[in-house]
Amino acid sequence: MTLQQNGNKVTGTYKHRDGRIEGTLNGNTLTGLWYQSNGKGRLEFVFNSYFSAFTGKWSYNEAEPSSKWNGQKVP
């Protein structure tokens, strides 16, 4: 996954099914939407203080995010 920040807006892409992310960063919490060739949904990522890792959740469509989506920065 690659993320770019412009102010409090975050966009990104990832390889799985041509994934795309759009969201808003408030402090260390990113909330937004994910889009793939097979669907879309909501996400919430909470980054650590160094923004080098996050614990997150995702869901399909408008459901409350509850499935795990975690990651960390790779060198």
Please tell me the pTM assigned to this model. 0.94
Please report the DSSP string for the chain in residue order: -EEEEETTEEEEEETGGGEEEEEEEETTEEEEEEEETTEEEEEEEEE-TTSSEEEEEEEETTSPP-EE--EE---
**pLDDT tens profile 6-59:** 999 999 999 999 999 999 999 999 999 999 999 999 999 999 999 999 999 999
Instruction: Indicate if the pLDDT at residue 75 is higher than 90.
Output: no
Containing structural domain, residue 60: 2-72
**Domain count for the chain:** 1
